[in-house]
Amino acid sequence: MSRIKEFNLPDLGEGLTEGEILAWLVKVGDVIELNQPIVEVETAKAAVEIPAKWAGQVQAIFHPEGTTVEVGTPIIAIDTDPGAGPIEQSTTGAPASALPTPSAASLAAVEVAPAEGAVEPGLIGGPAPGGRTAVLVGYGPRTTAAKRRPRKGAVPTQASAAPVQAAPVPVAPAPVAPVAPVSPPAANGNGRAGGLVLAKPPVRKLAKDLGVDLSTLTGSGPLGSITREDVQRAAEGTSSAAEPLTVAAPATSAASFGADREQRIPVKGVRKLTAENMSRSAFTAPHVTEFLTVDVTRAMKALDRLRERREWRDVRVSPLLLVAKAVLLAVKRHPMVNSTWAGDEIVVKDYVNLGIAAATERGLIVPNIKDAGRLSLRELADAMTGLVQTAKAGKTSPADMSGGTLTITNVGVFGVDTGTPILPPGESAILAFGAVREMPWVHKGKVKPRQVTTLGLSFDHRIIDGELGSKFLRDIGDFLADPEAALLAWT
């Protein structure tokens, strides 16, 4: 049995097909233990550390950090019995085809000689023992002179062992001075010989109409191309005639809108999954969004009283906690909201896996609190705090982001009043919680400053009709307007 075992990227759950290597936690030559974390991989749902399947010594790492690897692809090789001595390899005398393929580690260890200057011994292209040249197997300098097929009508010549001295050959091209009225082809303002000018057909037509010779202009567009502005300046007499190619100063150059002023960001990981889910949901479930503005002054005062209680002093208490409690109580009154469309049937769930949308450096993720309806207010507060801290640390597991049934997105933390959120796939409702602001409000017949917020509820109209969605949103608003009265009335 081979001592060298290749460890393949495993399926980390939910049928994931690929992952990006964020960081290697080991290097070639390290001795590792069983279940020791060896690599951090970002999947479409989370960043996770993968443990080693065997103990031993790292022999090769096949993919560098930042590489996206498909599930089932080998990512590392481990010698499971490093104490048994060196690994046997092919020796001299074997044909090149029988030699083992160089490992990624050995290739990475080979230094490449500099492009200029003397080549040090041992580097690729440099001298090696015995007068040979250091090269990789299958690569290297030719041992015979290059042969060309003679042209038709050409007289074959014999190769000379010594350099030909009859006709001196210039080492570098030099400017050719004209000796006759007819000058040789010269470089135009774009540095291109033979009159070749980069310009689009509309620009060429404009130059013809204005009587401008394009070969005398210096282009300011991408790759030195001539733009309409260049032609217009030349027509007005502001463009200089044939000049050597120079770098135009930023103050006088025309604005460029090419690729050099664009940034291309690969779509992968969380961003790729989010895009796929949002597109599928937006064009599958018929969305309806309703809004409700609520006076939450009493709810804010209730939070202040809660923070003052001895048993709550070390607990993170925020308005989102009361919103989550309001949603859970409203679901009990309207269970159809917590359901899934399954084609020929609607699946109504007696449990609420409450998702809390979280913005992280890796993108938007929606971990959920499992069976949140069974938790007390204190347990719900602790669960929400742990969920947010884990998400910000980038340690949310795929299991924590699967199985959600209903979601809250707190756009108020960004100073936004509300929004029209898109349903996560498989869910029938999502609530947007806006910023709490002090605003003029009619209270007991008088206009007074009150704490006000706006809620936005999006729901799947295949399951939830307008009446059900409106009652569900109204109940959430009633709880936030007067939490104590709602608890007494509903529980």
Q: Compute the residue count for the chain.
A: 491
pLDDT at residue 113 greater than cutoff 90: no
Tell me the average pLDDT across 402-409.
94
d(CA 438, CA 332): 31
Q: What integer pLDDT is reported at residue 313 of this predicted model?
A: 86
More confident residue, 8 or 265: 8
Q: What is the pTM of this model?
A: 0.56
Using 50, 70 and 90 to split pLDDT, how confident is the model at 279? confident
Q: What integer pLDDT is reported at residue 332 of this predicted model?
A: 96
d(CA 63, CA 18): 13
pLDDT at residue 458 greater than cutoff 90: yes
Q: What integer pLDDT is reported at residue 94 of this predicted model?
A: 38
Could you give the 3-state DSSP secondary structure of residue 373? Answer: helix
Tell me the average pLDDT across 301-322.
93
pLDDT at residue 403 greater than cutoff 70: yes
- Concerning whether 461 is annotated as a catalytic residue, the answer is yes
Bridge-based pairing of strands 56-61 and 68-70 is unpaired
Q: What integer pLDDT is reported at residue 196 of this predicted model?
A: 67
Q: How many other CB atoms sit within 10 Å of the CB of residue 363?
A: 14
Q: What is the per-residue pLDDT across 346-364, written as a single tens digit (0 to 9) for each? A: 999 999 999 999 888 777 8
d(CA 221, CA 257): 9
Using 50, 70 and 90 to split pLDDT, how confident is the model at 328? very high
CA-CA distances (angstroms) from residue 266 to 20, 66, 279? 12, 11, 18
Tell me the average pLDDT across 416-426.
92
Q: Which residues contact 172 (CB under 8 A, 6 or more apart)?
A: none
More confident residue, 253 or 126: 253
Q: What integer pLDDT is reported at residue 82 of this predicted model?
A: 84
More confident residue, 209 or 180: 209
Q: To the nearest whole percent, how much of the chain has pLDDT over 90?
A: 41
Q: To the nearest whole percent, how much of the chain has pLDDT over 70?
A: 72
Using 50, 70 and 90 to split pLDDT, how confident is the model at 393? confident
Instruction: Give backbone dihedrals phi and psi of 376, rounded to 5 degrees, phi first.
Output: -75, 170
Tell me the average pLDDT across 28-32.
92
Q: What integer pLDDT is reported at residue 232 of this predicted model?
A: 83
Lowest mean pLDDT across 33-37, 55-59, 216-220: 216-220
Q: How many other CB atoms sit within 10 Å of the CB of residue 235?
A: 15
Q: What integer pLDDT is reported at residue 210 of this predicted model?
A: 81
Q: What is the per-residue pLDDT across 253-273, written as a single tens digit (0 to 9) for each? A: 566 677 777 888 787 776 777
Q: What is the per-residue pLDDT across 183-205, written as a single tens digit (0 to 9) for each? A: 444 445 554 544 567 777 777 87
Q: What is the per-residue pLDDT across 461-478, written as a single tens digit (0 to 9) for each? A: 999 999 999 999 999 999
Using 50, 70 and 90 to split pLDDT, how confident is the model at 121? very low
What is the identity of the amino acid at 456? Answer: G
CA-CA distances (angstroms) from residue 255 to 117, 174, 205, 246, 260? 41, 35, 22, 17, 12
